[in-house]
């Protein structure tokens, strides 16, 4: 579904992504982990072109997303992105946040968008907060609304950029629960996260990144029990100690 072919990215002289060549299959749940500065966020942001690349190709559903004349907005409409900082629109209620894109992009009538949004808010456990503004919601609640908002566009892929890193510990669980449910429903997901428990339980595959390269990949069982690359071993050891 997602094919990365020799993807390179530079920030000035800094080589942020080094020749990444990988695939993500449909219905797969992929977790990307690694130390900070490893390029995980950069990588995931290239998938919906929030960041552009300097070399190589990215194809989604067989189409090169950097092709001339490619409709970026259509690409993004088909991919849901969940940010570390939630980024809910503060001047709109939770419901309105979820309705905005479907209505404006003519994917649904206002009535249908409202119905769909209520359904999704219910699925993330926040139907009772539909008319609340973001500043009245806790971090965990805001992130769940953000997930519902992304789902309202009926994407085929969901990208998560450290979705729980900005949350107080007691709210991490409620967000991970929503993500687990999504995974069980068969959504294709790429998650950048530090939550190793989630990775162990839900991921189909794990990529370990450092310094712009994918140094190790494999099934969670293998990765956690038997890491191969010295950096991965170091990383897991640090995690366990903390």
Give the binding site for other proteins (CB under 8 A). 48, 50, 73-81, 83, 85-91, 100-101, 104-105, 134-135, 142, 146, 149-150, 153, 166
Q: Can you say whether the dihedral through the CA atoms of 107, 113, 115, 116 is positive or negative?
A: positive
Query: CB of residue 89 vs other proteins: minimum separation in angstroms?
Result: 5
What is the maximum alpha-carbon separation in the chain?
55
Query: CB of residue 74 vs other proteins: minimum separation in angstroms?
Result: 7
Nearer to other proteins, 169 or 240 (CB): 169
Nearer to other proteins, 13 or 135 (CB): 135
For residue 32, the number of C-alpha atoms closer than 13 Å in the C-beta half-sphere is: 27
Query: CB of residue 197 vs other proteins: minimum separation in angstroms?
Result: 25
DSSP string across 191-238: EE-S-HHHHHHH-SEEEEEETTEEEEEE-HHHHHHS--SHHHHHHHHH
Q: Show the tokens assigned to 181.
A: 């449910």
Nearer to other proteins, 120 or 150 (CB): 150
Strands laid side by side in the 213-218 sheet: 79-82, 157-161, 188-192, 29-33, 205-210, 213-218
Query: CB of residue 138 vs other proteins: minimum separation in angstroms?
Result: 11
Query: CB of residue 155 vs other proteins: minimum separation in angstroms?
Result: 9
Nearer to other proteins, 18 or 77 (CB): 77
Whole-number Å distance between alpha carbons of 97 and 140: 16
3-state secondary structure 96-142: HHHHHHHHHCCCCCHHHHHHHHHHHHHHCCCHHHCCCCHHHCCHHHH
Nearer to other proteins, 75 or 236 (CB): 75
Nearer to other proteins, 147 or 214 (CB): 147
Query: CB of residue 104 vs other proteins: minimum separation in angstroms?
Result: 5
């Amino acid at each position: 579904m997602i094919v990365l072919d020799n993807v390179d990215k530079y920030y000035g002289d800094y080589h942020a992504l080094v020749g990444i060549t990988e695939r993500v299959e449909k219905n797969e749940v992929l977790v990307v982990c690694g130390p900070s500065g490893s390029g995980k966020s950069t990588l995931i942001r290239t998938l919906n072109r929030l960041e552009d690349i300097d070399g190589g190709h990215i194809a989604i559903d067989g189409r090169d997303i950097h092709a001339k004349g490619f409709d970026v907005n259509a690409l993004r409409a088909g991919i849901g992105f969940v940010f570390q900082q939630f980024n809910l629109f503060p001047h709109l209620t939770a419901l309105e946040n979820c309705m905005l894109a479907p209505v404006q992009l003519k994917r649904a009538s206002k009535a249908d968008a409202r119905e769909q949004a209520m359904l999704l808010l219910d699925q993330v456990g926040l139907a009772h907060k539909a008319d609340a503004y973001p500043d009245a919601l806790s971090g965990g609640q805001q992130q769940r609304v953000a997930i519902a908002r992304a789902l309202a566009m009926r994407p085929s892929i969901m990208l998560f950029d450290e979705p729980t890193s900005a949350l107080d510990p007691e709210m991490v669980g409620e967000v991970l629960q929503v993500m687990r449910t999504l995974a069980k429903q068969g959504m294709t997901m790429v998650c950048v996260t530090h939550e190793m428990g989630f990775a162990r339980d839900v991921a189909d595959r794990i990529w370990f990144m450092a310094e712009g390269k994918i140094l190790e990949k494999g099934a969670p069982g293998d990765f956690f029990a038997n890491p191969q690359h010295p950096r991965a071993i170091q990383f897991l050891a640090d995690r366990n100690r903390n």
